[in-house]
A and B are shown apart, each in its own frame.
Chain A
Amino acid sequence: MPNFFLDNSDLQFHFNKLDIKEVVRITEVDYEEAKKYNYAPVNYEDAIENYRKVLEVTGDLAANFIAGRAADVDIEGATFSDGKVAYAKGTQENLKQLSQADLMGMILPRKYGGLNFPFTIYMMAVETLSRADASLMNVFGLQDIADTIKKFGNEDQRQEFIPKFCTGENTGAMALTEPDAGSDLQAVKLQAYQNDKGQWFLRGVKRFITNGNGEVHLVLARSEAGTKDGRGLSMFVCRTDKTVVIRRIEHKLGIHGSPTCELQFNDTPAQLVGQRKFGLIKYVLDLMFRARMGVSAQALGISQAAYEEAVKYAREREQFGKAIYNIPVIANMLIEMRVMLESNRSLFYSAAKSVDIKEKLEEQIEKLKVEGKSFSEENNRLKQATKIANFLTPISKYTLTESANKISYDALQIHGGTGYMKEFKVERLTRDARITNIYEGTSQLQIVAAAGGVINDVMKEFFEAKEIHEYKGGLTRLANHLKEIREIYLDCLKYVIDKKDTSFQDVAAKDLVELYSYLYIGYLVLDEAEIESKKIFIANRYIINSLANARKNAASIKNELFSDLLHADKILV
């Protein structure tokens, strides 16, 4: 029987080399819950075995049920009539099975009915399910909403909202975007006000709300009347009732299974989550962090599916008396896709682990605070971990979602005219991929988010340690290429800083961020090549390609490519 977890050799590679002992120890509070729950692990090995088994269940559902429904989900799509949204039949069946399989509360605590899994494992499940049907991620991946309530809500709110997420009875929506507040969330207008008894109400419109038909909404709203920026915004949670009106759903290019709603809140009773004024600057940023990883996993799943379609088609399709797989130009495209896919996955699971470490350290510190113990060591580690996660998250989002577009584009290209037709899966994958580098922060905004880390050389210690490491024989050449890329980066960085021109910095940021990502990913794949011989091919092509790209990026920065921006009005006549 096919299984999207077991048959994905590269995902298996990453699962088998998982090194998340500390993350699991903190998640499992020293394995204490095993006394209370027969499905809680007794030690690290047991926990890993649990993750493996549950990912097998996920892979089975993905391959044998969800994938088969994806085409119909795409054709039928979510529908809207009489103010109500209905999922496509296949989506309904998918959600029913995921609920029966206890997968809807993967990262939520056991005491609310969840599985209490680390974020990294959850991301593996999102990748696996997205490969079968990308649009399903937009419901499955919203467990993060319950997780946000867990982190920032009070105990009453946790008990009220989280259990029904775990059983699958409730799904949620993050109501952030408004007609005039897209990338710029500081401009959110939706009003939150209190009556004399202190009860909060919400009034206003939210737009492009993924799964806005869900039962629970996390709403970013202006609680401080008269303010104009992010500091006047708070986070609220409310249930769908007759005051929440769905005005329409969007007709989209892709992810048809996921309803995108326009919501009107007409004096909807709501509860404040956490502290006032921290809505955007703390809670949404935290939520977006994980949501961006979720979209990266979605992109990775689409890339995997598109790559497979391309290889399959190339093997079957005969032209000029042979399978087109045997035509060097096609084989080269396929290798290019595979290298992109595998290097993406290396970056992604490294980033997922960094998010896990950051979040678990935060949890640990909260616990130590409550116990009145010292936490200065943890705090120092958290600072470093946060820097790294803050850098790797946007880098992943940028790299993986752009790659999903490139991989599905090339997969369609390999299909030729056939790929342009609806009958083949690759057409849907190409459409589904297109949203990933737009929502949860466009690629351009990911560059902005990563730029700080790149300018401050946040991975400096990591790179310096790698540069003195002696790589095995043939890998030395590749290690030297990476050293050269680092010199190019440092040279470009100095050039950008010395220029003291913020407009120039803004446009050069893309080249600089990319340069830095080549380095980080380059060392990841090089390290993998040391432990797995098959990975030598990946490292070889990735690093040689990166060196060429690095030189190009440097030329863009140093040859004044962007000097014509001053004359934009003359050019864009």
Chain B
Amino acid sequence: MYNSIVLVKQVPDTANISGKVMKEDGTVNRSKLPAIFNHEDKVALELALQVKEKYGGKVTAITMGPPRASDILRECLYMGADEVFLISDRKFAGADTLATSYVLSEAINKIGNYHFIFGGRQAIDGDTAQVGPQTADKLNIPQVTYAEQILDIKKNKVTIKRKIDGGHEIVRAALPVLVTVIKEAADPRPFSAKKVMAYKGAKSLTDLEKLTEGNSLLYTDTLIHEYKERNLFISTLTMDDLQLDVDRCGVKGSPTKVHKVESVVLAGGNQTRVEPTKDGIGILIDKLLEDHILG
């Protein structure tokens, strides 16, 4: 039996960017972008489900994000996750990878009882590939990144094939371990119709609060109780639940500062012809050094 915790993230669907999505200053208008399940995280969930099918155990999916991120938690349930947690608090907003990995690692400590933590290699919005490794570091457990295949799990050791430049290597790690996966690692299974029907009504605290807002006959506490009874309550972990250090969360806990966002318009135009001679190449190198492209 091996229990897994899967880190998932809701990201903007960057594959479907249209003209309306980019603002004039070059930033993204998120409200215009449909939100989707980060594909590599789905692969991570698939891998966790395969471990469960082969060895037994439990799969828990967690996400840190705004309330609407409960969408992808429902999708985790549709694929076969046993339990899901939404880690959400206004004070988490604006977190960089450092603050995010702090919150995630504390949430993982709270959930506990795991052998594997799976996550996608990176999310398509930030493309940093830092959250997984930083989380492992904070939990003080080994990490295997760029995993392509789990070859074997025996007792307390896992053997993993991981991708490296120009090939792969096979590594062994002690459990518990954090594994980030690339998209080749597995084909995520489709949603199960039965699970879709069973969990379509799963709701988080915020979802339920919205229901009570428009209806004075409903009380959130009663609803929570009812949804828990029916196994449809998506637990939310907040700052208070995790007893976190406020200075390490959200914008406050994020040393990454965006200096400037530039809208780069790629267009042909000013062309300089460089002759393929020794002198020509020399002129080209000088020009590149001058523009700080080289050196």
Beyond A54-B196, A54-B197, whether A100 also contacts B189 by CB under 8 A is: yes
Q: Which of A49, A65, A115 contacts B193 (CB 8 A)?
A: A115
Find the B residue at minimum CB distance from A55.
B193
> Which of B13, B16, B193, B230 makes the CB contact (< 8 A) with A103?
B193
A53 at the interface (CB under 8 A from B): yes
B244 in contact (CB, < 8 A): no
Residues on B with C-beta less than 8 A from A49 are 200
Among B36, B189, B192, find the residue whose CB has the most chain A CB atoms closer than 10 A: B192
- Chain A residue numbers with a CB within 8 Å of B190 are 57, 60-61, 65, 97, 100-101
Q: Once the chains are docked, how many angstroms separate the CA of A57 from the CA of B114?
A: 31
Q: Mark A236-266, 1 if CB is under 8 A from B, else 0.
A: 0000000000000000000000000000000
B-chain residues with CB within 8 Å of residue A39 when the two chains form the complex:
193-198
Contact A102 B200, beta carbon cutoff 8 Å: no
Residues of B within 8 A of A100 (CB): 189-190, 192
Q: Out of A40, A41, A57, which one reaches B196, CB within 8 Å?
A: A57
Would A50 and B197 count as touching, CB distance under 8 A? yes
Closest A residue, CB atoms, query B16 = A1
B191 within 8 A of A: yes
In the bound assembly, the distance between CA atoms of A40 and B194 in angstroms comes to 9
A-B contact count (CB 8 A): 49
Are B231 and A57 touching (Cβ within 8 A)? no
A57 and B36 contact, Cβ closer than 8 Å, known pairs A38-B231, A39-B198:
no
Bound complex: CA of A53 vs CA of B194, how far in Å? 10
Q: Choose among B16, B36, B192, B231 the residue that contacts A101 (Cβ–Cβ < 8 A).
A: B192
Asked whether, in the complex, the Cβ of B197 is within 8 Å of the Cβ of A101, the reply is no
A102 touches B194 (CB 8 A): yes
Q: A residues within 8 A CB of B197?
A: 39-41, 50, 53-54, 115
Report the minimal beta-carbon distance from B10 to chain A, rounded to whole angstroms: 14
Taking a contact as CB atoms under 8 Å apart, the answer to whether B200 and A53 are in contact is yes
* Interface size in chain A (residues, C-beta < 8 A): 20
The 7 closest A-B pairs by CB, nearest first: A39-B197, A102-B193, A38-B198, A101-B190, A39-B198, A39-B194, A54-B193
Closest Cβ of chain A to B197, distance in Å, is 4
Shortest beta-carbon distance, A117 to chain B, in Å? 9
- Give the contacts of B164-196 with A (CB-CB under 8 A): 189-196
12 A-B pairs with CB atoms under 8 Å apart are A1-B16, A38-B230, A40-B197, A54-B196, A57-B196, A61-B190, A65-B190, A97-B190, A102-B192, A102-B193, A103-B193, A115-B194
Query: Which of chain A's residues has its CB closest to B200's CB?
Result: A53
Interface hits, A1-59 → B, CB 8 Å: 1, 38-41, 49-50, 53-54, 57
Residues from chain B with a CB closer than 8 A to the CB of A54 are 193, 196-197
Complex CA gap A545/B198 in Å reads: 47
- Complex contacts, B231 vs chain A, CB 8 Å: 38
Q: Which residue of A lies closest to B197 (CB)?
A: A39
Contact A57 B193, beta carbon cutoff 8 Å: yes
Bound: A109/B270 CA distance, A: 70
Query: Given the complex of chains A and B, what is the CA–CA distance between A97 and B231 in angstroms?
Result: 27
Q: How far is the CA of A41 from the CA of B13 in the complex (A)?
A: 32
Task: Flag if B191 contacts A57 (CB, 8 Å).
Answer: yes
Q: Which residue of B lies closest to A113 (CB)?
A: B194
Give CA–CA (A100, B50) in the complex, Å.
13
Residues of A within 8 A of B13 (CB): 1
Question: Shortest distance in angstroms between B35's beta carbon and chain A's nearest beta carbon?
Answer: 12
